[in-house]
Structures are given as C-alpha cells and as structure tokens.
A and B are shown apart, each in its own frame.
Chain A
Amino acid sequence: QVHLVESGGAVVQPGRSLRLSCAASGFTFSDFAMHWVRQPPGKGLEWVAVTSYDEKKKYYADSVKGRFTISRDNSKNTVYLQMNSLRAEDTAVYYCARDCCSRQAGWSPGNWGQGTLVTVSS
C-alpha cells in the first residue's frame, strides 16, 4: 500500500532555509507526479508545488515561487522541498502527496503523508 513519510520540519528563523523530504514506498515512485501541500495551524489547505515524474514539469504557488524548489530522486523514492528565505507566513504543516493518476503535472493529489510541521519564528 502507498506510504509517504515526510521529515525535516523544524523551528527556523525568518530568512533561513530548510529542506523537507518525503520518502515513498508501496508503489512505483517514478510512475507518478508528486505534490506538496501546506496547512497553516487552524486554517485551510494551500497547494505549494508539483513535479512530474521526470522533473521536466514543475509548477509552484505564487506565494512560494522563486523561494521554494521541488525536486525528486527516483532512485531513492524521495521527493524534496527546498525552502529558502522563509517567512512567518510559511509556518504550516507540510504534506507530500502522490498524484492519484498521472505522471505529468497532475490530476489530483491522491495519497497523502501525515505531514511535517515547519515553524518560522525568531
């Protein structure tokens, strides 16, 4: 069965960087696009980024474009989110999700991990 485990969440100061990882198992990782979605404490969901199976297509939310980078290593079954120039408003639980159906930019986030908390505070 599909299993996604996020890691790397921490408390960081504004302006600093952090890299999140998401280890996948239970499916052929290289066959699916992968998403990152975040949820600020007590608030709704915000889609962050998606990468196609081969990294040729990557798309970002306007709020993170130029600061965050999504990448993947198909040999390690892992997707990453490099977050630079962090701001207080980036504080959230970050979820990785396997696309339900597509190798490309995505049909929908399907299976989700449990999330990892990033807190940006001085």
Chain B
Amino acid sequence: DIVMTQTPLSSPVTLGQPASISCRSSQSLVHSDGNTYLSWLQQRPGQPPRLLIYKISDRFSGVPDRFSGSGAGTDFTLKISRVEAEDVGVYYCMQVTQTPYTFGQGTMLEIK
C-alpha cells in the first residue's frame, strides 16, 4: 500500500498570513494514464470532509482561489495564500492513484 506522510502535523498560523502543508508518498503517484491523482481535503471541526484540490492542483467547485496545490511524483504541497478564521481544521492529503486509496495522517491548522 502507498503510505502518505504529511508535515507538519500541527501548524499554528496568524490570520492573513500564508500557510503550507507538505505531503510525501512512499512511491510515485503517476497513474498509467499519465495523471497524478493526489487530492487535498479539509475537515472543519464537527463537519464531514470537504474536497479542496484534486489531481494535484485542480480546485474543486466552490473552493476559494486562496487554496492552491502543487507538486509532482512523490512530493506535494497545499498552500493557503492568506489564512482566514474559517480555514481552521484538519487537512488531509489522499492518493487516488492506486488501490487501496490512502490518506495522510492529517495536519491540524490552528490560529495563533
């Protein structure tokens, strides 16, 4: 199975400042079809998860453009350009390239 490792596990940030979360996979996430199925999800307290980014950098419907994804192969990054109060929660990367699909451990984003 592909292991997804996120860093940091906790990230205190100041409102209005940028934030960044890294995700590394134990093997390349490039699919045989040429796409890389790496997603980022947000889970606010008490809420179900919400898809932010799929295929490394495509924003899902309704996701603000302050969220962006980048990376290739085994190393990926989620960036929030200016953190807002509503961004507090746990962020997960997920690989959907090879079954069984797997999640990272989660990164808790909190406000300083």
Which residues of A line the B interface, CB within 8 A? 37, 44-47, 50, 59-62, 95, 97, 100-101, 105-115
Cβ–Cβ contact B49 & A112, under 8 A = yes
Q: Which residue of B lies closest to A45 (CB)?
A: B103
Cβ–Cβ contact B105 & A44, under 8 A = yes
28 A-B residue pairs with CB within 8 Å: A44-B92, A44-B103, A45-B41, A45-B49, A45-B92, A45-B94, A46-B103, A47-B100, A47-B101, A47-B102, A47-B103, A61-B100, A95-B48, A97-B49, A101-B54, A107-B55, A107-B96, A108-B39, A108-B54, A108-B96, A109-B49, A109-B94, A109-B96, A110-B54, A110-B60, A111-B51, A112-B48, A112-B49
* Nearest CB of chain A from residue B11's CB, rounded to whole Å: 16
B99: which A residues are within 8 A, CB to CB? 50, 59-60, 105
Distance between Cα atoms of A80 and B49 in the complex (Å): 20
B41: which A residues are within 8 A, CB to CB? 45, 109
A108: which B residues are within 8 A, CB to CB? 37, 39, 51, 54-55, 94, 96
Distance between Cα atoms of A71 and B1 in the complex (Å): 24
Q: Which residue of A lies closest to B99 (CB)?
A: A59
Cβ–Cβ contact B100 & A115, under 8 A = no
B89: which A residues are within 8 A, CB to CB? none
Which residues of B line the A interface, CB within 8 A? 1, 37, 39, 41, 43, 48-51, 54-55, 60, 90, 92, 94, 96, 99-106
Cβ–Cβ contact A106 & B101, under 8 A = yes
Q: A37-B49, A44-B92, A107-B37 are in contact. Are A50 and B54 (CB under 8 A)?
A: no
Cβ–Cβ contact B100 & A113, under 8 A = no
Q: Which residue of B lies closest to A65 (CB)?
A: B100
Distance between Cα atoms of A44 and B104 in the complex (Å): 8
Cβ–Cβ contact A60 & B48, under 8 A = no
B50: which A residues are within 8 A, CB to CB? 112
Q: A45-B106, A108-B39, A108-B96 are in contact. Are A50 and B101 (CB under 8 A)?
A: yes
Apart from the given pairs A59-B100, A59-B101, 17 other A-B contacts in the complex at a CB distance below 8 Å: A44-B90, A45-B94, A45-B103, A46-B103, A47-B100, A60-B100, A62-B100, A100-B51, A107-B55, A108-B37, A108-B54, A108-B94, A108-B96, A109-B51, A110-B51, A111-B51, A112-B49
